[in-house]
Amino acid sequence: MFSWAKSALSAVAGTEEPIYGPEAIQPVGKNAGDPSFTELTKEDLKWQALNYTNVETQTFYVNADSGHTGIFQVIYNNIFGARTTVQFNTKIFYPNNEKPFLWSSDPLSNHGFDEGHFSFHADGVSIQLNEDGSAYTVKAAVNNSSLVNVTFTRTAPGFQAGKTGTSNYGTNPKEPWGSMHHHFWPRCKAEGSVITREGEIKIDGQGMFSHALQGMKPHHAAARWNFVNFQSPSYSAILMEFKTPPSYGSTTVCVSGIATDGKLLIAGINGGAKHTETKQDTDNDWPEPTSASYHWEGKTDDGKEVTAELAGSLGTKYDRVDVMAEVPGFIKTIVASAAGTKPYIYQFASKLTIKVKAGDEIKEEEGVLFTEATFIS
């Protein structure tokens, strides 16, 4: 392969790696003596802003009382430690998919952090963590089609799986060459609005916050992802699951949790996602899910066994995201043929009923499911 093509391919997605085997990944929460989860403190909420290849994101999800589903996200991307790009994304799905969704994605200039690395700022954007670490205020005025002013206030403890929330990659656990980290506020109160060209959208409702760090090339870290954000009057259930490429033994890693007002019911690494019905996407050959089931399990603080199930049709697809849509066509072709990489994200928002069994008590409650199924390689 021409050297320029190798360079472009590596920068965009990363070439294939040797087969290291499952022992070359240390999944979160699997170290002996690790707790199933750790409640977050303010110190855990810091931006890392690493100086080597990584992608760090803060993402705020909202299920508004108006029926809108919203996503606000900052993506902080470092390439080879030589260049950092930052993007702010806003996505608003309208109730019942009644009209095309609102989407804006804008590069940011003059980005930085406060002294403690708790808050982010750039020209036209700020994500401010309050003094006691219980609320974020997201403001964005970089795109006239989506002027954002929303506050997310935590209404249940945040958590990370295991002791550190981190899965490490490498044949020497003491000197990992890559990592994957996630922590969450599963249950929040969202308040605010987005001003669009058509008027104001009230964003008051239920929210969720995710802070993620991929400390390596995304193509090397995971081949497939499932993400769940379910919100109902009594329960917030989140699930993040990824499967590594064959180079790391096609290992599945899961982080899950269920919160109610004021407390975490369960949290940890147990649970999973299954696509129970699929259809072939003729554009890229991925098996697009049409129905799915999701499972949670764990123990309460007093030792009570808890399981939860969420299953059914995913309904109308809200969006199919071609992750490499902005990549030049010739590079995209090289990536797909040489590395088997053609990343797409399928997004759905539908009403489903969660069934939660805590000890001998069973409760069922309808809520709104936002889910993503991502195929990379």
Residues above pLDDT 70, as percent of the chain:
92
Condensed to tens digits (0 to 9), the pLDDT of residues 243-260 reads 999 999 999 999 999 999
Listed residue (348, 319, 354) closest to 234, CA to CA: 354
Mean pLDDT score, 265-288: 96
Q: List pLDDT tens digits, range 320-357.
A: 998 877 554 444 444 444 455 688 999 999 999 999 99
Residue 10 has pLDDT above 50, yes or no: no
Please determine, for residue 193, whether its predicted confidence score (pLDDT) is greater than 70: yes
pLDDT given at position 238: 98
Residue 230: name the closest of 134, 318, 314 by CA: 314
pLDDT in tens, 94-148: 998 899 999 999 999 999 999 999 999 999 999 999 999 999 999 999 999 999 9
pLDDT of the residue at 15: 54
Alpha-carbon torsion angle 279, 283, 286, 292, nearest 10: -40
Q: What is the DSSP letter of 121?
A: E
Across the range 296-310, mean pLDDT stands at 95
Mean pLDDT computed over 203-225: 92
Q: Enumerate residues 6+ apart whose C-beta is below 8 A from 20.
A: 171, 247, 248, 249
In the predicted model, is pLDDT for residue 290 greater than 90?
yes
At residue 331, what is the residue type? I
Residue whose entry in the numeric block shows the structure tokens 């696509």 = 275
Residue 80 has pLDDT above 80, yes or no: no
Confidence (pLDDT) at 115: 96
Question: What mean pLDDT is predicted for residues 190-218?
Answer: 95
Q: How far apart are CA 64 and CA 189, in angstroms?
A: 10
Nearest to 103 by CA among 318, 286, 344: 318
Task: Summarize the confidence of residues 286-307 as an average pLDDT.
Answer: 96
Question: Looking at residues 196-225, what average pLDDT do you find?
Answer: 93
Tell me the residue length of the chain.
Answer: 377
Percent of the chain topping pLDDT 90: 79
Residue-level pLDDT at 66? 95
Report pTM: 0.93
| 248, 20 contact by CB (below 8 A) | yes
Cβ contact 86:106 at 8 Å: no
CA atoms of 177 and 371, how far apart (whole Å)? 30
Q: How confident is the model at residue 12 (pLDDT cuts 50, 70, 90)?
A: very low
| Domain map (residue ranges) of the chain | 2-375
Distance CA 27, CA 242 (A): 11
pLDDT for residue 67:
95
Cβ distance 186 to 157 under 8 Å?
Answer: no
Of the CATH numbers 3.40.50.2000, 2.60.40.10, 2.40.370.10, 3.30.420.40, which one belongs to the domain with range 2-375? 2.40.370.10
Q: What is the pLDDT of residue 293?
A: 98
Q: What share of the chain is helix, strand, coil (3-state, %, to 5)?
A: 10, 55, 35
Q: What is the mean pLDDT of the chain?
A: 91
Neighbour count for residue 10 (Cβ, 10 Å): 16
pLDDT at 85 over 50: yes
Give the C-alpha separation, 19 to 21, whole Å.
6
DSSP string, 184-196: EEEEEEEEEEEEE
Burial level of 16, CB count in 10 A (0-12/13-18/19+)?
Answer: middle
Give pLDDT, residue 339: 52
Please give the pLDDT value at position 119. Answer: 98
Per-residue pLDDT band at 52 (split at 50, 70, 90):
confident
Q: How far, in Å, CA of 74 to CA of 275, rounded? A: 29
Closest CA to 200 of 64, 73, 106, 89: 64
Residue type, 24: A
* Per-residue model confidence (pLDDT) at position 327: 52
Quick check: 370 and 349 in contact, CB under 8 A?
yes
pLDDT at 48 over 70: yes
pLDDT at position 341, please? 67
Average pLDDT over residues 263-283: 97
pLDDT of residue 345: 93
Contact of 48 with 184, CB cutoff 8 Å: no
Q: Is 221 helix (H, G, I), strand (E, B) or coil?
A: helix
- Per-residue pLDDT tens digits for 317-327: 999 998 877 55
For 307-316, what is each residue's pLDDT tens digit? 999 999 999 9
Confidence of residue 217 (pLDDT cuts 50, 70, 90): confident
Q: How many helices (H) and strands (E) does the chain have?
A: 3, 26
Q: How many angstroms separate the Cα of 158 from the Cα of each of 12, 22, 174, 356?
A: 33, 29, 28, 20
Beta bridge partner(s), residue 57:
75, 212
Predicted local distance difference test score (pLDDT) of residue 242:
96
